[in-house]
Amino acid sequence: MYRRIIGLLFVFVVCIFLQAATGTKESVSLSVFTEQSAVRPGESVWVALHLDVPESYHFYLNNPGSDPKAPPQLEWSLPDGFKVLAVDWPPPGRIESEDMVSYGYEKPLTILANLQVPANAVLNKKSTIKVGIRWLACTEEMCVPGSETKSLDLSIANEVVWNSKTQTLFLNSREAIPAKEPDDVAMLDEEAHLVSNTTNGFEGGVILAIAMAFLGGMILNLMPCVLPVISFKILSFVNMAGQNRSTTLRHGLFFAMGVLVSFWVLAILLLVLQAYGNAVGWGFQLQEPLFVGILASVLLIFSLSLFGVFEFGAFFASWVGTHGASNIKQEGLFSSFCSGILATAVATPCTGPFLGSAIGFAVTLPSLQALAIFTSLGLGMAFPYLLLSAFPQLLRFMPKPGAWMESFKQLMGFVMLASVIWLIWVFGFQTGETAQVLLLIGFFVMALACWIYGRWAAPHRSNVSRWVSLVLTLVLLVTGGQCVVTASQTVSAATNATEAHAGGWVNFDPDKVIALQEQGVPVFVDFTAKWCLICQTNHLLLSTDDISKEMEARGVVKMKADWTKSDPMITEYLKQHGRNGVPLYLLFKGTKEGKPHILPQVLTKESVMTALNQLPSEGAKVN
pLDDT, tens digit, for every residue of 574-599? 877 878 788 899 999 887 666 789 99
Q: What per-residue confidence (pLDDT) applies to 191?
A: 36
Q: What per-residue confidence (pLDDT) applies to 202?
A: 53
Q: What per-residue confidence (pLDDT) applies to 203?
A: 53
Residue 492's pLDDT band (cuts 50, 70, 90): low
**Torsion sign, CA atoms 172, 178, 181, 183:** negative
CA distance 146 to 29: 10
How many CB atoms within 10 Å of residue 503?
Answer: 10
Q: What per-residue confidence (pLDDT) applies to 47?
A: 92
What mean pLDDT value characterizes the chain?
Answer: 78
Q: What per-residue confidence (pLDDT) applies to 242?
A: 62
φ and ψ at residue 150, rounded to 5 degrees: -125, 155
Residue 121's pLDDT band (cuts 50, 70, 90): confident
Q: What per-residue confidence (pLDDT) applies to 551?
A: 93
**Contact between residue 236 and residue 388 where contact means Cβ atoms under 8 Å apart:** no
**Contact between residue 557 and residue 506 where contact means Cβ atoms under 8 Å apart:** yes
Q: Which of 153-162, 213-222, 611-620 has the lowest mean pLDDT?
A: 611-620
- Full DSSP string of 250-315: HHHHHHHHHHHHHHHHHHHHHHHHHHTT----TTGGGGSHHHHHHHHHHHHHHHHHHTTS--TTHH
What pLDDT, in 10s, does the model give residues 303-347? 898 888 987 654 444 443 444 444 445 557 888 888 888 888 877
**Contact between residue 431 and residue 495 where contact means Cβ atoms under 8 Å apart:** yes
For domain 506-613, the CATH architecture is: 3-Layer(aba) Sandwich (3.40)
* Average pLDDT estimate for 60-84: 68
Residue 67 clears pLDDT 70, i.e. is over it: no
Q: Domain-by-domain residue ranges, the chain? A: 27-182, 205-431, 506-613
Q: Which of 337-351, 424-438, 560-574 has the lowest mean pLDDT?
A: 337-351
Q: Report angle CA 544, 550, 555 to the nearest 5 degrees.
A: 125
Buried b (16+ CB within 10 A) or exposed e, 15-25: eebeebbebbe
* Domain 27-182, classified CATH 2.60.40.10, yes or no: yes
* Average pLDDT estimate for 522-540: 89
CA distance 595 to 589: 8
- Give the three-state DSSP class for 24: coil
Contacts of 32 (CB under 8 A, 6+ apart): 47, 48, 49, 50, 131, 150, 151, 152
Contacts of 291 (CB under 8 A, 6+ apart): 285
Specify which residues 83 forms β-bridges with: 116
Residue 362 clears pLDDT 60, i.e. is over it: yes
Q: Which of 10-19, 492-501, 529-538, 563-572 has the lowest mean pLDDT?
A: 10-19
> Residue 80, exposed/middle/buried by CB under 10 A (0-12, 13-18, 19+)?
exposed
Nearest to 285 by CA among 271, 306, 270, 272: 270
CA distance 285 to 349: 9
Helix H, strand E, coil C: the string for 97-152 is CCCCEEEEECCCEEEEEEEECCCCCCCCEEEEEEEEEEEEEECCCCEEEEEEEEEE
Residue 105's pLDDT band (cuts 50, 70, 90): confident
Q: Which of 25-34, 155-164, 207-216, 425-434 has the lowest mean pLDDT?
A: 25-34
Nearest to 368 by CA among 277, 271, 257: 271
Q: Which of 18-27, 227-236, 437-446 has the lowest mean pLDDT?
A: 18-27
| Rounded percentage of the chain residues whose pLDDT exceeds 90 | 19
- 378/616: higher pLDDT: 378
Q: What per-residue confidence (pLDDT) applies to 457?
A: 85
How many CB atoms within 10 Å of residue 320?
Answer: 12
